[in-house]
Structure 1
Amino acid sequence: MMVPTDEQRRCIEYTDGPLIIVAGAGTGKTTTLIEKIVHLVNKKCVHPSRILAVTYTVKAAGEMENKLRERLGDKACGVFVDNFHSFCFMVVSEHRATLGLSGEIRIMEDTEKSVFMADVIRALSPPLQVLSTFPRVYDRVGQLCGFIGKAKSYLFGPDELAQRLEETKDRLEKKEYLELAEAIRVFLEYEKRKKPLGLLDFGDLE
């Protein structure tokens, strides 16, 4: 059992609203989170089934479950512990009809995503003009997958990006504007093609 610092103790015992803990790697964030859950269950009488704990990896989620079991015993079974992608996939699966997804859904791994993107690019009519200057299809696919992933990390879809592009076009060089316009066009077609197939990428779950 950890002996919390005064600062960690304040985090553990604080229950008056949302709380953000900003700290570097190895400073005890996960341990503090575990102790906070223990505090909520044992001291505040919060039912374990009302607690969700998410972390970045499957391994970290498993370690958190084990540590909670050590601290809470059988009560730990009620706490829902998962990694972000797995939890978000579960939420998307439950609400797939609302999101316009039909049938079974699955996440594309990076290789499948690249192949799918290459197919999207090849099927475009008219074909790409500015972005076709990349010497290899692989480079084009990599650039566009990166562009779409970054857009999703900022919660931008293709329609929002298109609107932003039009709002800022006067401040962009012509080539930059055309490159972005084509990238957004690919983004739009990529989303349009994968939705009826029930396909997701990891960016959809972040």
Structure 2
Amino acid sequence: MSELISSLNTQQKAAVLHTEGPLAVIAGAGSGKTRMLTHKIAYLINEIKASPSKILAVTFTNKAANEMKERVIELIGKNGEDAQISTYHSFALRILREEIKVLGYPSNFNILDDIDQKMILKPIYKTLNLSSKTMSPRIVLENISKFKMNGTSPEEALEQAKSDTDKALAKMYK
């Protein structure tokens, strides 16, 4: 039996050894899911001879992604460095950067975080003679997001505005 799986419990071993078709692993916090996943990645690379660059593992936080990557490298060394272990957001960003030209957009775009978005709003508040105290940046950004998700242009938002607040939000969107 491989050293990679000898230290795992029965359920973890079964999950690591399952290499054909999908597999759902449902378990509570602290039950060893990350341990199983990192051992599975290492097993696929070292025992099954899967190309590390063909393995993708995604998680929600940078901390978890870094921990998984470190664990895989601890288990199998440099072979684990090319496995794609990242957050959902960083994986999606990588795909966008690699493929965005197909959509006709430049690849040198930026993704704005909350702080960047609020900084962009500051001069707009001034231009429209509004205050962030009476119309919070959170509300403005939520409404802009809704407009975009509904495919509403700034002009349409202004046309559809019924109240002064709606008009101000539409102007901030513009």
Q: Which category of TM-score, normalised to the shorter sequence, fits these structures?
A: 0.5 to 0.7
3-state SS in 2 of match to 1:81: strand
Partner of 1:142: 138
Which of these residues, 108, 111, 133, is aligned with residue 104 of structure 1?
108
- C-alpha change, 1:15 and 1:121, in structure 2 (3 Å) is farther
Query: What letter corresponds to residue 53 of structure 1 in structure 2?
Result: A
Q: Could you tell me the percent identity over the aligned residues?
A: 28
Partner of 2:150: 158
Partner of 2:155: none
* Contact kept? 1:34, 1:68, Cα under 8 Å: yes
Partner of 1:88: 92
The runs of 5 or more residues in structure 2 that have no matched partner are 153-161
3-state SS in 1 of match to 2:49: coil
Query: What letter corresponds to residue 26 of structure 1 in structure 2?
Result: G
How far apart are the structure 2 equivalents of 1:26 and 1:147? 39
RCO higher in structure (CA 8 A, sep ≥6): 1
Partner of 1:58: 62
Partner of 2:71: 67
Q: How many residue pairs are counted as aligned between the two chains?
A: 155
TM-score normalised to structure 1 length: 0.58
Query: What letter corresponds to residue 113 of structure 1 in structure 2?
Result: Q
* Contact kept? 1:118, 1:137, Cα under 8 Å: no
How far apart are the structure 2 equivalents of 1:33 and 1:104? 34
Bigger radius of gyration, 1 or 2?
2
Partner of 2:49: 45
CA RMSD of aligned residues (A): 3.6
